[in-house]
Structure 1
Amino acid sequence: MAKKTKITDSDIIDFYMDYVVKHHCKPESIEDFAKNYKFDDVVFYEYFTSFSDLEKTIYNLLFENSLALQKQNPEYISYSKKEKLLSLYFTFFENLGLNEDFVKHNLKGLENQLKALSTFSLLKTSFTTFIDELNLETISLNVDLIENIQQKAIKESAWIQFLFILKFWLDDTSESHEKTDILIEKSINTGIELIDTKSFYNIIDLAKFLYKEKVQ
């Protein structure tokens, strides 16, 4: 059978996700992968340098598509910072759910090493850019160096929080990942409260939820 022509990067992404879901593992090689989907392996290298590069692109696209979907909503511009965070998180994890078979097979065995995964390097860049755009306020100390450090701390803390929720989602067996939705809301509430008011009420609420889940 003749090889397919006019293969796009989207086609390759679809082929790869399909392969991982069907075989529960990565292809042995780019050559075998291309042969399996009847296209020239040279085309793969027109878009990606490796399977790792492809995976980075997939997770970043899931995030970028989630953000783009939110910004299409005419009401998005009037959302508060908290509402923008919540909306993006819910949409992103909904998109993960739509691709759950791929994500869980692709990340299998790496659940406890999420912080070290280079797989999320592009996603992290997009995520921290989004946090930057929100312009979350820090405590005004009138010292540029300290305020710059605070901004960096906010981005890194938000990223760690994001990875924490992702890890929770991977382990969440509740119907429609309802417990992840609860964690998202409580985590965002806590983060915003820490920045804006230093209130400990939401910290206690979050701690109670996590303790309950741990005990169960």
Structure 2
Amino acid sequence: MASPKSKQIIDSNYIIAKYMDYVLDHDGFPKSVYKFCKDIKIKESDFYNFFGSLEAIDKGIWSAFYNNAIDVMSKNKEYDDFSSREKMLTFFYTFFELLTLNRSYVLFTLNRHKMPMENMKQLRGLRKHIKDFATELIETDNDEKMFKVTKNPVAIYSEGAWFQFLFLLKFWKDDESAGFEKTDVAIEKSVNTIFDVFDNTPLNNVLDFGKFLWKEKVM
């Protein structure tokens, strides 16, 4: 006797997965919550249990990428012992691996509007996540420093981490190297450069990073 079919659990992850599939299958975004719910065969009330609008899903997908990256990192037993530099490197490597797994959707949604600033609106939630993550790292480093003058400015550092992400996102979008290996190099050099600047170490890595960017621009 066949076992009865288990009922599909409808949660935020299910709705997000269906939304991303819808966008790619239809080569466009849903026109309304009603039409989207009808297409994926769920009640509107199920949708509104998790998202207040279609725009909320756009932002929620980026937050889901972030949360998934944090979950993957936290499963590494050695992660807690990493330095702040290593944690930042691990985060960017993990995050962009997740973006690569969903590259078709990410590229499509980042080119949704003709005006770049309109496309950036969906990243507002992610911006807060990344700034909070960077804030935690720099505050941990500051706690280990005895003198106030040697402590790094948290606001500047966290904002810098966000601009660093935007740079890497643009680099990744344009990267045509096998396995996106050039993006990995950009992550390593950019993170090391940022930490070298804040640690007041020699600027060899800054110059090295500049040469790397120039080379990529010329080629």
How many residues are paired up? 210
Structure 2 distance, partners of 1:128, 1:106, is 22
Q: CA, structure 1 residues 52+17, in 2 after alignment: closer, same or farther (shift >3 Å)?
A: same
Tell me if the contact between 1:12 and 1:44 (Cα under 8 Å) persists in the aligned partners: yes
Tell me if the contact between 1:172 and 1:180 (Cα under 8 Å) persists in the aligned partners: yes
Name the aligned partner's letter for residue 181 of structure 2: E
1:51-95 deviation per Cα after TM superposition (whole angstroms, max 9, x unaligned): 111111111111111112111111111111111111111011000
Give the gaps of 5 or more residues in structure 1: none
Residue pairs, 1:48-87, within 5 angstroms:
48-87=51-90
> How many Å apart are 1:108 and its aligned residue?
1.4
Hey, what does 1:113 align to over in structure 2? 116
1:35-57 deviation per Cα after TM superposition (whole angstroms, max 9, x unaligned): 11111223212211111111111
Structure 2 distance, partners of 1:167, 1:112, is 15
Give the gaps of 5 or more residues in structure 2: 1-6
Q: Is the partner of 1:70 in helix, strand or coil?
A: helix
Hey, what does 1:215 align to over in structure 2? 218
**2:191 paired with 1:178:** no
1:123-181 deviation per Cα after TM superposition (whole angstroms, max 9, x unaligned): 112111111221265798747xxx68x21011101110111101111111111111110
Q: Is the partner of 1:47 in helix, strand or coil?
A: coil
Hey, what does 1:26 align to over in structure 2? 29
Q: Is the partner of 1:203 in helix, strand or coil?
A: helix
Structure 2 distance, partners of 1:48, 1:214, is 41
Tell me if the contact between 1:190 and 1:202 (Cα under 8 Å) persists in the aligned partners: yes
Bigger Cα displacement from structure 2, 90-99 vs 115-124? 115-124
Aligned-pair Cα RMSD in Å: 2.5
Percent identity of paired positions between Structure 1 and Structure 2: 37
Structure 2 distance, partners of 1:13, 1:54, is 7
Structure 2 distance, partners of 1:215, 1:66, is 33
- What is the TM-score when the length of structure 1 is the normalising length? 0.88
